[in-house]
Amino acid sequence: MIELRQVSKRFLDHVVLDKVDFRVDDGETVALLGPSGVGKSVLLKHIIGLIRPDSGTVTVDEQNVALLGRKEIAALRSTIGYVFQNGALFDSMDVRENIRLGVTNDEQFNDVAYCEARVTECLRLVNLQPEVAKKFPGELSGGMRKRVGIARAIAGKPKYLLYDEPTSGLDPVNSDVIDQLIERLQNELGVTSVVVTHDVRGSFRVADRIALLWQAKIRAVGTPEEIVQSQDPAVQQFLERDLEMTIIQNESTDGS
Amino acid sequence: MAELTLDLRRVVGRWSLRTVGHAGRFAYFVADLARGLADWRVWMPRTIEQAILVGYGSLFIVLLIAGFAGAVTSLQTAYQFSGNFPKYLAGGVITESVILELGPVLTGLILAGRIGARFAAELGTMRVTEQIDALESLGRSPVTHLLLPRCLAGIIVIPALVMFANATGFGVGWLAAKTTLGISNGDFIYGARFFFQSFDLWYSAIKAVCFAGAVTVIPCYIGFNTQQGAEGVGRATTDAVVAASVTILMLDVVLSELLLPGVGQ
């Protein structure tokens, strides 16, 4: 289980997270919605310990992430697959080596036959041909990069998968492919997932629960049905896919 | 006037805070490097790769620069010793100039531009494209995978490059002295041996190791902490070269003061 309790984070004068509570139970997929720049990725990076909270606690499998030592955090991270927004593939390595680095068990990592089989298997899971393994990231399209990023994230058979804007920058067809992929991985691997996105349609498709992050706080949490029925103007505005969130901005201007 | 004073205080305050912040982060960075040495199975193979890249890739330019340095030293010695000085002195001056100063310092400065810029740009790009975050997210340490191999490769290879530079500078200086001063081989070797002490080579090697630290650790630190996209990478690369070059020249003064017998007494 992943749990954030009263987590606050600020960068200089900018408060990004303000006493945020957020929970993901084992086996479920939670989509974290919110406008660009609201702090969704920052929240995701707290879960894996890439960013430490100013206050509050982040626990994964009942371990306080901020208090873990070097080896403990490495061990925890090996149970979490993180899909970066732009793939974050190592551009000096080919796809095979990129995915192989995702094999987090040292014994398996040094077993060439295992790694070869695992690379092929992960490419199959993300609907890519084995020949792609020889290519370098610079030779891949945006959609393929995202899929290779997912393949690397699942190579270590993680318990948790964190997706950071998996469909941003993709055309609708490729976005659908990625959404299908997330659903499929969820069904085939049974992982617990957090999907950070501003794609409302995609989030309704893949998520068991949806949370809306707005103005440094979780504004609403619920099943897709509960979110649809929410009377909160911010939620309604977001569902209408108006990413400008004009109502919210007017609301905050009136309030100030 | 009051506003100006206030602004000046702000500027000095911000600068001081930034400097102290960098000093603290740099100390942690070096401590992290030291701690990472225990994981030799991870950094060893990558260090060999980097050493080949750094050493083989830099050899030509280092030898070229050392050759020019030897030739210029010889020409200037010929100009300054054109009176009634014994010619064998030129052998000593050229040899000592190359080994004590020009070999290590010029190699260090060239490598600050070549290797320092490369390390800062590579790590900076990896930082802004989240590749370093990705490495950490996979439970792998950027210290043992990226930083230690680069720093250790430099610290191993740069002293060797300096020795090659010394040999080349000496050889080219000798040839140039023969043509410009008309010095015989015997006189040149006599002068070189008259002034040479084995400590000179140790001194050159110690300087090379210290310069190697500046050329690798500082650019790695700056590249690793890059922020703000492509502009940040450009700034990090420039900062890395400037900081490494200035550090080399500062170390040159400090090491001369500390290590050369008779200096500063």
pLDDT at A230 over 60: yes
Nearest to A90 among B131, B137, B139 (CB): B131
The tens digit of pLDDT for each residue in B147-177 reads 999 999 999 999 999 999 999 999 999 999 9
Section B67-76 average pLDDT = 93
Section B127-152 average pLDDT = 93
Higher pLDDT pick, A87 / B63: B63
pLDDT at A254 over 70: no
Residues in chain A within 8 Å Cβ distance of B129: 86, 88, 91
ipTM for the complex shown:
0.84
B20 touches chain A (CB under 8 A): no
Q: Pick the closest to residue A26 from A193, A199, A250, A241 (CA basis).
A: A193
Cβ–Cβ < 8 Å for B90, B74: yes
What pLDDT was estimated at residue A253? 47
B5 touches chain A (CB under 8 A): no
Q: How confident is the model at residue B261 (pLDDT cuts 50, 70, 90)?
A: confident
The tens digit of pLDDT for each residue in B185-231 reads 999 999 899 988 889 999 999 999 999 999 999 999 999 999 888 89
Cα A45-A51-A55 angle, rounded to 5 deg: 115
* Nearest-CA distance A28 → chain B (Å): 21
Give φ, ψ of A167 to 5 degrees: -110, 5
Tell me the whole-structure pTM to 2 decimals.
0.84
B141 and A82 within 8 Å at the Cβ level: the answer is no
Section A80-107 average pLDDT = 91
Q: How confident is the model at residue B4 (pLDDT cuts 50, 70, 90)?
A: low
CB atoms inside a 10 Å sphere around CB B167: 16
Nearest to B134 among A73, A88, A104 (CB): A88
Instruction: Write a three-state SS string for B67-88.
Output: HHHHHHHHHHHHHHCCCCCCCH
Token pair for residue A144?
A: 């393929």
State the amino acid at position A57 in one-letter form: T
B76 touches chain A (CB under 8 A): no
- Decide which of 3.30.360.10, 3.40.50.1220, 3.40.50.300, 3.40.640.10 is the CATH code for A2-229: 3.40.50.300
What pLDDT was estimated at residue B163? 96
Nearest to B129 among A45, A78, A88 (CB): A88
H helices present in chain A, as ranges: 40-47, 70-77, 95-101, 106-109, 112-125, 142-154, 172-189, 200-206, 224-229, 233-239, 246-255
Residue ranges of chain A whose CB lies within 8 Å of a chain B CB? 45, 48, 50, 70, 73-78, 80, 82, 84-86, 88-91, 101-102, 104, 152, 156
pLDDT at A196 over 50: yes
Question: In whole angstroms, what is the distance from residue B108 CA to residue B116 CA?
Answer: 10
Cβ–Cβ < 8 Å for B230, B237: no
Domain boundaries, chain B: 39-258
* Nearest-CA distance B54 → chain A (Å): 16
Domain boundaries, chain A: 2-229
Token pair for residue B32?
A: 């992290």
pLDDT at B96 over 70: yes
B1 touches chain A (CB under 8 A): no
The tens digit of pLDDT for each residue in A139-157 reads 998 888 988 999 999 999 9
pLDDT at B133 over 80: yes
Q: Are strands A55-60 and A2-11 parallel, antiparallel or unpaired?
A: antiparallel
What pLDDT was estimated at residue B5? 65
Question: In whole angstroms, what is the distance from residue A98 CA to residue A82 CA?
Answer: 13
B14 touches chain A (CB under 8 A): no
* Nearest-CA distance A256 → chain B (Å): 30
Give φ, ψ of A234 to 5 degrees: -65, -45
H/E element, B122: helix B117-128
B133 touches chain A (CB under 8 A): yes
B129 and A86 within 8 Å at the Cβ level: the answer is yes
Residues in chain B within 8 Å Cβ distance of A91: 129, 131
Question: In whole angstroms, what is the distance from residue A176 CA to residue A201 CA?
Answer: 10
